Amino acid sequence: MAVQVLLADLGNTGIKLGFATEQELGETYTLSTHSNYTADSLGLSLYGLLRQQGLSKSDLEACLFCSVVPELDTIFQQACRRFLGKTALRFPLDIKPGLENRYDSPAEVGADRLLAAYAARTLYPDPKSLISVDFGTATTFDCVSDMAYLGGLICPGVLSSLRALASGTAKLPRISLEVQENIPLIGSNTATSLNHGFIFGFAAMAQGLCEKLREQLPGPVEIVATGGFASDIAKVWCGLDHLCPDLILEGLRLAWIRAC
């Protein structure tokens, strides 16, 4: 059996988990991020997913994670140590990024942003510059030129924006945040108005900001989209070059290969 590693992206909304080999990222899973996790409860979930994969602890070579939720870091490390018998390695503390970090204060860059930029650069080495767009809790734009991380933009996220709107509006219906059309319809009901407003609105925002960022980067420039809503937004986004929903987990896999 090929060497297996457990990869984890500890985010504000969800914990994205994946099992991978040197050759490819395999099955992925998402757990809800909440404040009630203990090392035992999270560890039991990790062990259950390991068994779901038909693997034992001895089949697992390593555990790697990146995190933007500091209170989960120790819990995840304790869970891996107790239930999987592995010391979890954290990006970029234990596994260094393969990019020069040109942020004014490099430590301020979220691990997920840096990792997405590294993954985009590694997966798509040909263009001079890349813009990685992550539709997560926030919508982030991260720019890479050659092997240098330059920085980017942070904007509201799709789901967080919807929740903020719903918190101040009593009568909004539950919506799917999916559209079938390739143009925004003039909504004749609230659900259509919301679905099309959010999907086409965020696509237009991303497309417009990427065009402005492209003007400041040496070309050619390609755009990579990732995150929970990337697949739906990609359907209506003109000019997107690559869709990689699991870009951050891919980045962890690639960083592990580079470190080996």
Within 10 A of 113 (CB to CB), how many other CB atoms are there?
A: 25
Q: Is 59 a catalytic residue?
A: no
Q: How far, in Å, CA of 108 to CA of 115, rounded?
A: 13
Bridge partners, 140 (sequence order): 134, 154
Decide: 120 and 112 in contact? Cβ < 8 Å: no
Active-site position among 59, 73, 94, 112: 112
Neighbours of 240 (CB within 10 A): 20
Residue 233's identity, in one-letter code, is I
DSSP of 87-108: PEEETTTTS--SSEE-SSSGGG
Pairing of strands 129-135, 138-145: antiparallel
Quick check: 172 and 124 in contact, CB under 8 A? no
How do 4-10 and 14-20 pair as beta strands? antiparallel
Residues marked as catalytic: 112
